[in-house]
Amino acid sequence: MKKYILIFLLLLIGARLSAQSAYQAKGTVSGSDGAPLAGASVVVKGTSQGVMTDSLGHFRISVPSDTSVLAISFIGYLTKEVRADSREAIDVKLVENASQLTEVMVSIGYQQLPKERATGSFAQIDQQLYNRSVGADIVSRLADVTPGLIFNRGIVKPGSQTNISIRGESTLFAKADPLIVIDNFPYTGDMNAINPNDIESVTVLKDAAAASIWGAQSANGVIVITTKKAAYDQPLRVSLNSNITFSQRPDPYYLPKMSSSEVIDMEQLLFSRGYYRAAETSPNKPALSPVVELLIAARDGRITQQAAADQIDAFRKLDVRDQYAKHLYRSSVNQQYALGMQGGGKTSRFLLSAGFDKNLSAAKGDGFERITLNANQSVSVLKGKAELTTGIYYTNQDALENAVNPSMFNQTSTAAVYPYATFTDAGGAALPLNHYYRNSFLDQAHSQGLLDWTFVPLTEIGLVNNRKRQIDYRINSGLRYTILNGLSAEALLQYTASSSKSRRLQSQNSWAVRDLINRFTSVSEGSITRAVPLGDILDQSFLDVSGYFARGQLNYDRLLAGKHQLTAIAGAEVRDLATKGSSWRAYGYDDQIGSFQQVDYLSNFKSYVNPASASNRIPQYGGITGMTDRFISYYVNAGYTFDGKYIFSASGRRDMSNLFGVNANQKGVPLYSVGLGWNLHHEKFFALRWLPYLKLRATYGYNGNIDRTLAAQVTASYSSAAQSSIGLPYATIRNPPNPDLRWERVRMINLGLDFKTAAGRLSGSIEYFQKKGIDLIGNAPLAPQTGLTSFRGNTAHTSGHGLDLIINSKNLTGKLGWQTQYMLSYAAIKVTKYLPKSSNLRGDYLSTSLGFPTEGRYFNSIYSLPYAGLDPENGDPMGMLDGQVSKNYGALLSVSDLNALIYHGSSRPLVFGGLRNTLSWGGWTLSANVSYRLGYYVRMPSVVYSQVLSGVQAHGDFSRRWQKPGDELHTHVPSLPAASNSNRDLFYTASEALVEKGDHIRLQDLRCSYSWKSARQRAVINDVEIFAYAANLGIIWKKSGTDLDPDFRDSNPPLRSISFGVRANF
């Protein structure tokens, strides 16, 4: 840590700030609508001295005298000249230039270019919009702010860090996350390692022309993140950002469950049928609930029937969810602080920033702290012909994961805790639960000298210390040299490293450790032998990731003969990313001296619980992993604009990787794109004063994607003898050899139209795209004689199309301002080629929300069995078999024809978007963001009677079940059967009765802020913004008739929160 502080101090000392002149002029630059213009140029007329405005439109510049003239300009606006005034702040409003209206700069990670000269699909999120929301990570702030980008709520793909899709799915089984680029380089680290307060802007690249320059990493879209940099000739500025967020306590009642009284009624019914006789005599001594134990005691005459009934009636009034709310949950509190300092002189500029986050999670025992440090400096040398840049980014994260999960309280390994459990008595003393084993067995074990086996929930809190610490840093450097007018060369180098350590120390006093020790204990003639030694159990894992990135590039940008604008880049880059990990467990651990004891992993031991079970091995935890990912790429990108009207762009890239097969690397098929653009507003025949900007765009090209879980060579995982049933080490083939393994390709066609009316009253764009996935990773059958039945390779195809629309409206532009932004996106991607055919329709199509890839259908699809309602005589669910109503559940579930299933449609929204309104008056601003998701289906959970008839608390639909003739007219929930029938349950839960539309509209957030700007020339505080931000405010309309959020059917939705914060510039 000390070395990073030292580097910060050296950078600070090395930064040369320009000397202050006799006079200082300061002010604010805004557009005609009053919105601040960040990045406007302020130059002292007749000199080369100039500065840029900050994110709030503020500037401060040294002038020779108070009679100097300032020339103020901004792309898309007419230049304005004003007289400098050293006594009062200058308020400058620029007027839009119809001929340059939307010429803003967009970044693709390799270069920046004016959007007017771009043909691709870009969505730019500036600092003001990005900072509208509050959050500790850089990704969550992108929700519902740009068309085409959606967070896949309720569906998490393995290995996904962001759970984001851009323009629908582009892959079936490979990683579906978009590529994240931070300051020109792909970022493969932890999203939580980046401080969002360091972000200047975000650009989302959505089509081939925009993203194909990233080649075999770009099929899922690219998110380009640019961090803050200082400007030359900028006085020292200090910024402060602080906010605190309060979230509501989790609602344990959100998911509907049977009431305690309903569960007790079922336990009494089952007891009367003799259901618990087998458990009473089971050699595994499973725990029985307090109600069942009371019924047994009354049956055996140990207590009276009345005494049992009185205690049971008292249980009916209890609900364990009250205990969860009281003892396990709390309102979360997240604190965030950020301090920045930046400045620049004639030939150097620097930026220093530091951030601190401290989060107390809603689950007691969980917490998170993060420290971030950021330093970057640029130095201009050789009279401005060369620029050297350096940057250091450091993050230290410390996470505690010590919350007690309610699943720890389960009565047995297959049964949840009884719903009338209570953790304390009337005096507040902690009480034990009936947990895993019967109390009579626990008393016996204790009498023989075993460790106390009782489970007391409240004493478990704090007995497990699970901590993860992670350090990340990036060091980059770049050199840019101007060779000729318009021609420059640059070299970029970046080194990244991440080191994480997870340490989970379970105290011997914790129930899990006591249970493990006792299960591997034997007692013979009063002598106790423990295969698992006394002491704590320590689990540790380490993961180190390091990578080198290097790039060399030529840049050309020049206007020839006043009409020919040529822009081109060409370069090569290499990447080497190494991952190493290890994990191990220590038994009998003493944390004070660091000692532990060896155990016998190879032998089989008898279980104390059931001595007849003699094939028990001590659990082993550990392993070593490693992976090297090498990449070499060559790329070129060029754009030509004639007379500001006609635009042509093209890009190509060739990627080679050690993950690809030799045939793919030798062929080197490039990924490429071409694009055309037409600025109609520059045409002489286009003279619509009400429409001063109109542009048409068309692009075609290919993006790529990689599945890093596959390799061209044979890959295997090795296991030790302790993990083998025969006591010998063994290997498992993970992937057979595949010399033809190559990147996935996605072909995209994009047509776009951009417009803006006079005075910017209306602006926006509409884009239509076609998307085709080629050579996607899919399963394919393999000859059985190879030892494998299938393999994964480039065997699948997809195809689809979609639409992105964004409209910005300035409804009121006076003292009272009102702006509206409307977004609409549509993306429909279907599977067009997939070789395997399902041999288990129920397992592949009815047991998951994703579905089995099927040609002509959405990959993420919902299917169901036809439902014919409830039998009016007994409430049995009925289906359709060969066109007839049937209750033959085995036959209904054994359907072999896919056409016999009901295909509802996509399980992910096909249509989504948002509506954001912003009102402003004076320094006050109020905005509301409403989002919507349409065109998709969800499978709702419901009661499963095999759970009910085993005495387990099941879904709350139990209270809505059919109970008498006529109920079938107002419920689809079947009756309680006389005996458990798993096929009956499976049919009902897979039937169309539980499939509903997921369409909904939600109030995503509200934000209210007040901004104040100082009118004094030498004020200590230049400007201040205070704000309140409320998020996750809930659904305001949904198509479904249930009380559940359609995106959160099996878990709680995001908690409502409110944030208060302040931003200040000094």
Helix pair 260-272, 305-315: axis angle to 10 deg: 150
End-to-end CA distance of the chain: 28
Tally of CB atoms within 10 A around 993: 23
- Give the pLDDT band (50/70/90) at residue 664: low
Q: For 571-580, how does the pLDDT look when each residue is reduced to its tens digit (9 = 90+)?
A: 999 999 999 9
In 3D, which of 120, 132, 323 has the Cα closest to residue 211?
120
Pairing of strands 90-93, 23-30: parallel
Beta bridge partners of 496: 474, 547
Does residue 803 register a pLDDT over 70? yes
For 468-505, b/e burial (b = at least 16 CB within 10 A) is bebbbbbebebebebeeeeebebebebebebebebebb
d(CA 1063, CA 529): 64
At residue 813, the pLDDT reads: 87
Answering whether pTM is above 0.85, one says yes
215 phi, psi to nearest 5 deg: 60, -130
Cα–Cα distance for residue pair 414/422, rounded to 1 Å: 20
Query: pLDDT for 119-132, tens place per residue?
Result: 989 898 988 899 99
Residue 21 confidence (pLDDT): 39
In which band, very low, low, confident or very high, does the pLDDT at 733 lie, cut at 50, 70 and 90?
confident
User: DSSP string covering 309-324, please?
Assistant: HHHHHHHTT--HHHHI
Tokens of residue 609, six digits: 């619980």
Residue 220 CA, chain-centre distance (Å), reads 14
Q: How far is CA 605 from CA 535, 608, 618, 799, 1015, in A?
A: 19, 9, 8, 56, 81
Q: Is the pLDDT of residue 16 over 70?
A: no
Which ranges constitute the DSSP H helices of 543-639?
Answer: none
Query: What SS3 class is residue 267?
Result: helix
Helix or strand holding residue 296 (H, E):
helix 290-299
pLDDT digits (tens, 9 = 90+) for 526-582: 899 999 999 999 999 999 999 999 999 999 998 888 889 999 999 999 999 999 999
Least Cα distance to 196 among 247, 235, 245 occurs for 245
Among the listed ranges 312-316, 633-637, 655-659, which one has the minimum average pLDDT value? 655-659
Contact predicate 884/928, CB 8 Å: no
Tracing tokens 């805004």 back to the chain, one arrives at 30
- Residue 814's φ and ψ, nearest 5 degrees, are -85, -150
Q: What is the mean predicted confidence (pLDDT) over 792-801? A: 92
**Radius of gyration, alpha carbons of the chain:** 33
Instruction: Give me the mean pLDDT over the 959-965 stretch.
Output: 96
Quote the pLDDT of residue 459: 92
**Phi and psi (nearest 5°) for 716?**
-145, 155
| Cβ–Cβ under 8 Å, residues 247 and 199 | no
Lowest mean pLDDT among 602-611, 874-883, 911-920: 602-611
Give the residue from 396, 400, 467 showing the smallest Cα distance to 190.
396
* C-alpha pair distances (Å), 691 with each of 123, 129, 308, 683: 22, 26, 83, 13
304 exposure class (CB count in 10 Å sphere: 0-12, 13-18, 19+): exposed
**pLDDT, position 33:** 57
Cα gap 147→594, rounded to integer Å: 55
Q: What is the pLDDT of residue 174?
A: 86
pLDDT digits (tens, 9 = 90+) for 220-242: 999 999 999 988 888 899 999 99
Distance CA 874, CA 606 (A): 49
Return the number of other C-beta atoms located less than 10 Å from residue 853's C-beta: 25
Distance of alpha carbon 668 from alpha carbon 987, whole angstroms: 51
pLDDT tier for residue 86 given thresholds of 50, 70 and 90: low
CB 337 within 8 A of CB 359: no
Residues linked to residue 940 through DSSP beta bridges, in sequence order: none
Query: What values do phi and psi take at 706, rounded to 5?
Result: -125, 135
CA distances from 337 to 141, 182, 340, 352 (A): 17, 22, 10, 14
Tokens 């794109």 locate to: 673
Q: Give, as one character, the DSSP assignment of residue 1052.
A: P
Q: DSSP class of residue 1066?
A: -
Tell me the average pLDDT across 708-728: 69
Helix (H, G, I), strand (E, B) or coil at 871: coil
Dump pLDDT digits (tens) for 64-82: 776 788 888 876 677 888 8
**Which run of H or E residues covers position 842?**
helix 841-845
Distances (CA, A) of 664 to 661, 775, 1039: 5, 12, 48
| Pairing verdict, β 762-781 and 790-813 | antiparallel
CB 442 within 8 Å of CB 394: no
DSSP alpha helix (H) spans, 179-304? 208-211, 260-272, 277-281, 290-299
Q: How many residues does the chain have?
A: 1066
Please report the pLDDT score of residue 722 as a whole number: 61
Q: Give the pLDDT score at 450.
A: 95
pLDDT in tens, 327-336: 999 999 999 9
- The SS3 call for residue 947 is helix
Looking at residue 666, its pLDDT comes to 53
Answer whether residue 805 shows pLDDT above 50: yes
The whole-angstrom separation of Cα 179 and Cα 186 is 7
* Buried b / exposed e along 55-72 (16+ C-beta atoms within 10 A): bbbbbbbbbeeeebebeb
pLDDT band at 41 (very low <50, low <70, confident <90, very high): confident
Q: How far apart are CA 150 and CA 169, in angstroms?
A: 11
Cβ within 8 Å of residue 816, ≥6 positions away: 919, 920, 921
| 902 Cβ contact partners less than 8 Å away, ≥ 6 residues apart | 863, 864, 865, 866, 992, 995
Burial of 261 (0-12, 13-18, 19+ CB in 10 A): middle
Nearest CA-CA partner of 872 in 968, 790, 956, 1012: 968
Domains and CATH numbers, the chain: 2-96 (2.60.40.1120)
Residue 658: per-residue pLDDT = 75
115 pLDDT more than 90: no
Task: Tell me which of 53 and 1061 has the higher pLDDT.
Answer: 1061
The chain-wide mean pLDDT, for the chain, equals 88
The 3 state secondary structure assigned to 13-31 is: HHCCCCCCCCEEEEEEEEC
Secondary structure in 3-state letters for 722-784: HHCCCCCCEEEEEECCCCCCCCEEEEEEEEEEEEECHHHCEEEEEEEEEEEEEEEEEEEECCH
DSSP secondary structure letters along 330-345 = ---EEEEEEEEEEEE-
In whole angstroms, give the CA distance from residue 69 to residue 84. 6
H helices then E strands: how many in the chain? 16, 51
Does residue 16 or residue 35 have the better pLDDT?
35
Q: Which has the higher per-residue pLDDT, 712 or 937?
A: 937
Decide: helix, strand or coil at residue 1016.
coil
Residues 6+ apart with CB under 8 A from 612: 283
Would you give the DSSP letter of residue 46? T
Q: How far apart are CA 119 and CA 695, in angstroms?
A: 10
Task: With residue 430 as reference, give the H or E element that holds it.
Answer: none
Average pLDDT over residues 985-1000: 96
Which residue did the predictor score with more confidence, 682 or 801? Answer: 801
307, 301, 267, 664: which is closest to 434 by C-alpha? 267
Mean predicted confidence (pLDDT) in 316-343:
95
What CA–CA distance (Å, rounded) separates 604 from 313?
46
Output the six-digit token pair for 772: 């085709």
